[in-house]
Chains A and B, each alone.
Chain A
Amino acid sequence: MQQIVALERAVANYKPLKRVLTFDDFDRGACGWLDLRPNFVGPGFAPHNSSLNHLRWGPPMLSSATFRFQGTHGSLDGTYSMKLTTRAAAGPYEARPAPGSMGHLIKRLSRPDDITRLQFEMWYAFKAEQDRPGLGESAIRAFGVFFDIQDAQHRYFPGVRYVNSINGAPHKAWWLMKSADVSDAEWAFGNESDWCKRGIDPHWYGRRYEDGTSDSYVPVPGGRQELIYNETDGKMNWMYLRLLLDVRDRRYVELQSGDQTIDLRELAPTLASPYERIHNLINPVIFVETDTDRRVFLFVDSVLVSVE
């Protein structure tokens, strides 16, 4: 069968694998991405037992990227991006994530075929709320992306985060999701019956330490990188991120951030036991975290998830 394919011009900004599973430009709406919220399955619709308060994360929204002194930025290819937000609340880096200190975005997909490779790409920018004089750069603790994946044998969370600031000090390095050899209770901040076992939801769980290390991440080799924050808290630049995974051997392959591409083939995510009712789940997730009592934002112009 001969196919004639007309791609949106914006796809030229991406490097997809052979099959595009989803290309979401937020000028078209939310495209199936929404807030990551807990499972309201307990008595009185209470969420699962957890050592974290999952009811207070910041709400995502379609944004024109409008700032106090700059007006409207629009997006990379139109007017709207999806803005992940935190509330103006954070604890110390080494504490468990405080209520409201993070914001999330998730799209719920499934394995479309007997695939071997899976790739996440996005164009994005990050800024602090322009609520006080100064740069605001150090208010942004981290942002990241990962997949929640389950196959016949395992559930696992391959992903990366960029740690921008630790307790107000610049850090500026990429970290890879990979769990330390800890117990489930240690993973969940001492909670013996937390819904999340070791390896599950590493963006929230795993103890953190003042030097930037944690039980849920390892450093990306050669992962120090200066991303563009620009000269004020009101000017933003769109940046490119790509994470390539091998889902047959359950390994990392490659991370690309702008002009920097890093070979990750020596590294693998942590494999956990499967959970019920999510066989063949593939969920891309994006998150942002504040470092202080200030809202911070991750603007996502568009996302492309591809497979082969």
Chain B
Amino acid sequence: MRNFQTTVLDTFRDVSGPYATEPFEAGWAQEATFFVRVHRTDEGTRSVPVAVQVSVDGLSWVDEGTHANVPTDRDGFVRVRHFGGWLRLMVDVPPEVSCNLSIWIVLKE
């Protein structure tokens, strides 16, 4: 059996402007998926840009290259492999927009 782990990184969090999830160690996993659920946002905001970042030490971060516009009317996700030891998700909400969202990281060995 392969190890599996879902961790709730943020629950019902209000976000305006750029936001990064907490540094997360995922070195044991082969694959990772971030799920994003927008509970509430401004009328007219149809999607939110997100991007996966990687790090050698959990302190200094660079874009992994995977990004998406997650919809605000249903769950969205991005998935990565071959990411080394650390992961986080950048959520690039425009400063003039308010979002309330939850974010999960789903890891599989």
Contact = CB atoms under 8 A, between A and B. Distances in A.
Contacts of A264: none
B19 interface: no
B66 interface: no
A30 B57 contact: no
Contact of A29 (B3, B11, B25, B85): B3
Contact of B28 (A35, A80, A129): A80
B45 interface: no
Interface in B23-77: 23-28, 57-59
B7 A35 contact: yes
Interface in A279-308: 295
A11 to B, nearest CB: 22
B11 A66 contact: no
Contacts, number: 51
A85 B22 contact: yes
B8 interface: yes
Contact of B57 (A35, A62, A68): A68
Contacts of A30: 5
A192 B32 CA distance: 43
A37 B12 CA distance: 13
Contacts of A61: 7, 24-26
A78 B8 CA distance: 26
Contact of A59 (B3, B8, B86): B8
A130 interface: yes
Interface string B1-20: 00101011101110000000
Contact of B11 (A55, A79, A85, A295): A55
Interface in A5-62: 29-30, 35, 37, 55-56, 58-62
Interface string A63-98: 110111000000000011001010100000000000
A129 B25 contact: no
Contact of A131 (B7, B24, B27, B59): B59
Given A37-B11, A61-B25, 11 more contacts: A29-B3, A35-B8, A37-B8, A58-B22, A59-B7, A59-B22, A63-B25, A66-B85, A68-B57, A68-B59, A130-B57
